[in-house]
Each structure stands twice: as structure tokens, then as C-alpha cells.
Amino acid sequence: MATKERILQQLDELNRQLEIQGFWQTSAPSEEKLQSTLPFAVDTLTPTEWLQWIFLPRMQALLAQEDADIPAFSIAPYFEEALKGQAQAAPIIAVCQRLDDLVTPLEIVYRDEHYIAVNKPAGMLVHRSWLDSHETRFAVQTLRDQIGQHVYPVHRLDRPTSGVLLFGLSKEAASKMMPLFAEHQLTKTYHAVVRGWINEAAVLDYPLKVELDKIADKFASQEKEAQSAITHYRPLAHVEVPIATGRYATSRYCLVEMEPQTGRKHQLRRHMHHLSHHIIGDVNHGDGRHNRVFREHFNCHRLMLHASRLAFIHPFSGEPITIEAKVDETWLGVMRAFEWEPTLLSL
């Protein structure tokens, strides 16, 4: 199905859900309210009024044009926040997310007849999980719908981590790639912003205990041995900003490149925590004071950890393959604020 047809289908579904969930209004707002120029018209219209009286008719009029140029947009995050706590709004938010996916597709950074890789956005789950049953957006389903065929994940990235995510285009391709990850026969390069200054490159060999999930691993043994965990890291840039944290009048941060030699759960976050160079935005292993600095001063509300590069020998062709993914606008905003050149991330 063409993208235009899929969008029309979702607009019809949005119309239907507004009615089913009790948000549909039969009387139009006044002309004055409809002329609002602020985003989502929230100064005069409620969020669901905006969907019904502004978004739906404008999108339908646009798509009625023969050569419609469909703009990229992202409305789901706004409605997730605006309608938070309203259970009946969940189906509407789900439709908004599907619309976002259709007009802002995943960035494909590599593709051949066997494999495809995308630049996974921060905040997106790789696949559906009963632990996150309220989530509506997953890389597997989004990419499947985008390219019109099934994809098979061969590794994972944590939800808050962005960057290179590789899939097989067949079960056979996925099965041939998985051993490379399991046996660490490839190179994964990450970039992170951490608190404090790291002054020289080093290798951290620090075993990590298995990190159990409170729900999924409720009945698992709590006495498992720590597993070998090795991370290579090197500093790329430093900055000191006149923002107080604790007893210090300034705060120091560092841009770091890391290559995990092993693949333990949350290895990079836990290793940086061990070194007291917590990754910014890490709510589980990080430093809340510095996370707050980035939220309030740099509009950064994400984990500053990005999977920049994946390098391996192609299981079918035997050729060396290197896949790279660029950082997002939040990353670029932080780097501009710190006067760090984007070329520092060049690989």
C-alpha cells in the first residue's frame, strides 16, 4: 500500500477513534478560535479539538491534491503529554504515532539483499514487550511497515540509546549474524557525554553482576557470579561551564568514544558509573544533578549515548562492512552549546 493511502487510512481511523472515545464535537468552534497561529492552537482549542477541526481537514485537503508534498511532522509526543492520564485517549495517541511513523520514516543507513540497518531514535523500543505493554511504537513493526516486508532483529539497543540497529531480511540471514554478536566478532563504537573530565584513553576490565529485572526475573536466582566486562574508552573533548552542581561553582563534561569488548546488560552505563563519569541522561546509573543541568540549560531530555558505528565481516560475501549513524538534533544542540565540532564524531 502506498504511503498516501496508508496516511488516509490512519486519518479515517483517527476520525473514528475521536468519535468512539467521546471526543468528537458536532458544533464547530468559532472562526476566532480556528485562526490561532500557535502550535496545535492550544491557546484557543483543546488538543482533541485541534485534531478534529485543524489537523484532519488540513491533511485531507492536502492529500486530495494529485501531487501532494507530505510534510514531516511529529505529533504523538505532544498528545502523549497533553492527554496523559486519560485512558480513553490511548487509541488516539496510537494513531498519531502511526501517522508520525508514516511521514517521518526510520532512517535507513545500510541495506543489501540480506541485511538492513536503521538509525534508531532514542526512546524507541526494538520490539514489543509485555514489560512495556502501554507502548505503541517499535522499531521492528515500524521498519516492517516502512519497507513492506518482515525484518528480524539480530541484536538490541536499549530504549534510550540511539544509533545503528541491524536486522536480517530473512530468518537465515538473522541466524548467520547472531553468532557474530554472541561471540563478539564485530566492533561496536559508541559516543557519550559524561560528567567530569577523562584525561586519557584506557581499558576498563570490571566484571558486572547479572542485572535482573524486578518483574521479568522475579523468580530468578539472585546469586549469579559476576561476568567479565571490558570496555575501551578514550576522551575526545572537554568543557567546563559556569553552572553550579553541589558544592562546585562550575560543572565539567567530556565527550567520550567507547568500544565494548563484551556485551553485558547496560555495560557502558554501569562502567561509566563505576568510574564516576556517569553518562548524562541516565536515570538508573547516572547523576540526577547533572541530568537536571542538561534538561534545564541545554534542553536535553535524553540519554546521551549513541551507537555510532557497527563493523563486521559480512556472513554471506565475506566483505568488511562498516555502518555509521549520525547523531540527532539534541546531540548537535549540546555540541553547539559546548563549541564541540561535529567532526569529533567522525569515524
- List the catalytic residues: 158
Q: Extract the C-alpha cell encoding 251.
A: 560543572
Cell of 298: 541545554
Written as nine digits, the cell of 16 is 473514528
Rg (C-alpha) for the chain, rounded Å, is 23
State phi, psi for 256 to the nearest 5 degrees. -125, 140
Q: How far is CA 171 from CA 149, 177, 206, 208, 324, in A?
A: 12, 10, 35, 32, 24
Q: Read off the amino acid at residue 341.
A: E
Phi and psi based region of residue 163 (left: phi greater than 0; alpha: psi -120 to 50; beta: remaining)? left
Q: Which residues of 87-104 are buried (b: 16+ CB within 10 A; e: fewer)?
A: eebebbbbbbbbbbbbbe
Cβ-based neighbour number of residue 173 at 10 Å: 21
Q: Which amino acid is at 127?
A: H
Provide, for the chain, the percentages of residues in helix, strand and coil under a 3-state DSSP scheme, each rounded to the nearest 5: 35, 20, 45
Looking up cell 541530568 gives 291
Distance CA 19, CA 22 (A): 5
